[in-house]
């Protein structure tokens, strides 16, 4: 006997429609990710989803355009300026400009990060999946790949340095998932010269000086030859709490919960400075090194209030400055929200920026040279964007909130001020005597969608989006605009 299904009087609920729509969308996205050839089918399917909860997230063709300004992150490599829009999740473009002319050299995408550059090559890193990632060297003249190396499994963290025609790539498998490795590649050919697995290390720090690379791992400090990776010396000790390693022609220094100097020839200890019985946590921070002096600040509970100038020859503290005691009226109290408290050693002087003031101290004896103060006020949500840029050719460049300022290094006299876009994370960078800053204008006809449909909307045929990147170059001594470029490009889909 044939049975027929009787019609039901129960109407589908909104929750049921939404659930069905979400499941369908997720399945469609999985299909598209696995089979790129299904892109047209996906668009066609989405276009015919006229019944169900998804309809409210699909914009009509007449959807109004929304314009917003977004910050751009800048880095300078040689004469190449690397720029990427920081906050737009719908666009993974990055841009490479010529620092002299502002000409757009190339556009990178697909999650490629630029790590460095020399005169003829630049290097990008793309983390494809947790299983693999790729380091690529590209020719600057035509952006063609010269060589590439695939890491399998993909490192969870990495660091790159260039020196003497060798590209050093530190691959750290954090969390004990795999070894931490230091690779040395020929910068020109990409041939792996050598690699070294750091013993029992889920991450390490390294520095390259002269003809050695010095490694700070959990089991100690090691010195390797940069040409063939041969071990020159090993100093086994508990290095927990040490987070910085630097070197000069005499010593290699580790900085963290203590300051230690080792002889570069054999790793023998020259001197050590401890935290003087201060309660944990107590961290020293490296500020700089010049003329046989090592400049260190403390960071007890985030305070950063003490500065020491140490003679590298014997570890003697030549001068000591306690900012909290010397300037009790203006030093930020602990847990002060939105306070600016920055220390930097540049151009033979120590600089301390506190809110809208800058103090300069002589590196030779720690005495105050001058004090600069102006009536700068932070834009909403932007009060942590201050920075001490550099001191070069007699001029000190700083950014106080969204004001870019040039001061005479000798007396703190203000030469000029430029108002930057009042955007969170908008920071200027300096290359020689040229300063750069940038922002992007983002235009889209799609309001911010729920997270689970963002991928589908970015692929939808009605979706329209573009970024106009504005890039500015200023002459450092005068603050005059050297050039201004703008480039408008569609967002990735």
Q: For 137-164, how does the pLDDT look when each residue is reduced to its tens digit (9 = 90+)? A: 999 888 899 999 998 877 777 888 998 8
Does position 482 have pLDDT exceeding 80, yes or no? yes
* Backbone torsion region of residue 412, taken as left when φ is above 0, otherwise alpha when ψ lies between -120 and 50, otherwise beta: left
**Percentage of the chain exceeding pLDDT 70:** 75
pLDDT at 283: 85
Does position 274 have pLDDT exceeding 80, yes or no? yes
Question: What is this structure's pTM?
Answer: 0.81
pLDDT at 277: 55
CA dihedral 115, 285, 198, 238 (to 10 degrees): -170
What's the rounded mean pLDDT across residues 130-134? 80
Mean pLDDT check: name the lowest of 39-48, 74-83, 90-99.
Answer: 39-48
pLDDT at 297: 92
Helix (H, G, I), strand (E, B) or coil at 64: coil
Residue that wins the pLDDT comparison between 492 and 330:
330
Nearest 5°: the CA angle 431, 363, 212 is 65
What's the rounded mean pLDDT across residues 91-109? 86
What's the rounded mean pLDDT across residues 4-14? 38
Rg (the chain; Cα; Å): 27
Contact 252, 214 (CB under 8 A): yes
Helix (H, G, I), strand (E, B) or coil at 454: helix
pLDDT at 9: 38
Mean pLDDT check: name the lowest of 110-114, 251-255, 443-447, 460-464.
Answer: 460-464
Residue 22: is the preceding peptide bond cis (ω within 30°)? no
- pLDDT tier at 370 (50, 70, 90 boundaries)? very high
Residue 281: is the preceding peptide bond cis (ω within 30°)? yes
Mean pLDDT check: name the lowest of 35-49, 149-163, 232-246.
Answer: 35-49
Beta-ladder partners of 297: 285, 307
Q: Which of 358, 260, 353 is nearest to 315 (CA)?
A: 260
pLDDT at 157: 74
Query: How confident is the prediction for the chain on average, in pLDDT?
Result: 80
What's the rounded mean pLDDT across residues 100-126? 87
pLDDT at 282: 72
pLDDT at 90: 60
Does position 329 have pLDDT exceeding 80, yes or no? yes
Contacts 24+ apart (CB under 8 A), 185-194: 185/149, 187/118, 187/121, 187/137, 187/162, 188/121, 188/146, 189/147, 190/137, 190/146, 190/147, 190/148, 190/149, 192/149, 193/166, 193/227, 193/228, 193/229, 194/228, 194/229
Mean pLDDT check: name the lowest of 25-34, 201-210, 211-220, 460-469.
Answer: 25-34
Q: Which of 236, 231, 232 is nearest to 201 (CA)?
A: 236
């Amino acid at each position: 006997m044939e049975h027929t299904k009787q019609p039901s009087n129960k109407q589908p609920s909104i929750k049921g429609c939404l659930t069905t729509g979400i499941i369908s969308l997720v399945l469609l996205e999985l299909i598209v990710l696995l089979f790129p050839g299904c892109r047209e089918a996906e668009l066609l399917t989405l276009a015919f989803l006229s019944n169900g909860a998804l309809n409210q997230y699909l914009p009509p063709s007449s959807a109004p355009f929304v314009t917003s300004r977004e910050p751009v992150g800048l880095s300078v490599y040689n004469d190449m300026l690397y720029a990427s829009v920081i906050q737009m999740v719908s666009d993974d473009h990055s841009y490479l400009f010529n620092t002299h002319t502002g000409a757009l050299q190339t556009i990178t995408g697909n999650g490629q990060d630029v790590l460095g550059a020399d005169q003829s090559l630049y290097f990008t890193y793309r983390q494809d999946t947790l299983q693999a990632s790729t380091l690529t060297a590209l020719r600057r003249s035509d952006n063609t790949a010269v060589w590439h190396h695939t890491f399998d499994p993909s490192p969870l963290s990495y660091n790159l340095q260039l020196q003497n025609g060798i590209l050093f790539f530190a691959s750290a498998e954090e969390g004990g998932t795999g070894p931490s490795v230091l690779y040395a590649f020929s910068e020109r050919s990409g041939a792996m010269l050598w690699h070294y697995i750091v013993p029992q290390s889920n991450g390490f720090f390294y520095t390259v000086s002269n003809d050695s690379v010095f490694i700070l791992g959990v089991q100690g400090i090691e010195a390797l030859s940069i040409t063939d990776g041969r071990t020159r010396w090993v100093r086994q000790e508990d290095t927990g709490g040490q987070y910085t390693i630097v070197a000069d022609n005499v010593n290699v220094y580790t900085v963290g919960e203590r300051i230690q100097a080792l002889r570069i020839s054999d790793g023998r200890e020259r001197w050590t400075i401890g935290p003087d019985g201060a309660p944990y946590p107590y961290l020293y921070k490296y500020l700089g090194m010049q003329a046989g002096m090592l400049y260190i600040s403390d960071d007890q509970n985030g305070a950063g209030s003490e500065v020491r100038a140490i003679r590298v020859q014997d570890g003697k503290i030549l001068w000591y400055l306690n900012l909290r005691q010397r300037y009790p009226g203006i030093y930020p109290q602990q847990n002060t929200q939105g306070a600016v408290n920055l220390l930097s050693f540049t151009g033979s002087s120590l600089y301390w920026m506190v809110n809208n003031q800058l103090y300069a101290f002589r590196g030779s004896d720690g005495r105050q040279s001058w004090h600069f103060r102006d009536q700068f006020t932070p834009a909403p949500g932007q009060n942590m964007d201050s920075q001490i840029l550099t001191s070069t050719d007699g001029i000190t460049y700083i950014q106080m909130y969204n004001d870019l300022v040039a001061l005479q290094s000798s007396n703190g006299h203000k030469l000029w001020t430029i108002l930057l876009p009042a955007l969170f994370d908008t920071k200027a960078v300096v290359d020689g005597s040229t300063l750069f800053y940038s922002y992007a204008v983002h235009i889209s006809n799609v309001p911010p969608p729920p997270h689970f449909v963002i991928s589908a909307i970015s692929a939808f045929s009605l979706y329209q989006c573009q970024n106009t990147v504005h890039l500015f170059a200023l002459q450092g001594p005068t603050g005059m605009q050297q050039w201004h470029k703008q480039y408008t490009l569609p967002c990735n889909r």
